Amino acid sequence: MTKKRVLLQTFENLKARAIKHILLAVLIIVCFNCESIQTKPKNEFNLKDRIKQGKSILITDKEFNSPLDFTEITEQILINENILQVNIKVPVTFKNCVFKKPVIAYKKGSSNEVILSAFWGNLSFIDCVFKDKVNFRETIVYGITNFTK
């Protein structure tokens, strides 16, 4: 073989190996990204973030093992002396859910102020089971309210 041909063949071999290494690196990155996506719990999302983003809430067949406190979801606005209001401006619907801990839309704060919730869209709990306290005292709903079994 000529020297030129040997150099050309060596260059082609190096180029082929470099391409294989690049493809292998890309494949490894893709596999790790897919693995991290698959390990997230099913139905995981942040209710507070979705409400702040103005997205309607529809949750079905979920079991809640921690309190659901609407008074902590958005900013508390002073509407009167010792009365704060949380405005939830999207429709909120729960269907066939189980709430094992309290559901709170009204409470007294640490300084004895009242914190209440105002829902600017529909509020529905359809076929839901409440196994702990539920407090919607003085809650304002400007849409349709539905607590049906």
Q: Are 106 and 116 in contact (CB under 8 A)?
A: yes
Q: What's the CA gap between 92 and 58, in Å, rounded?
A: 6
Q: Are 132 and 99 in contact (CB under 8 A)?
A: yes
The whole-number average pLDDT for the span 100-120 is: 95
| Cα Rg, the chain, nearest whole Å | 28
pLDDT in tens, 23-70: 445 555 555 544 433 333 444 458 889 998 999 999 999 999 999 999
CA 13 to centroid of chain Cα atoms: 50
The whole-number average pLDDT for the span 113-141 is: 96
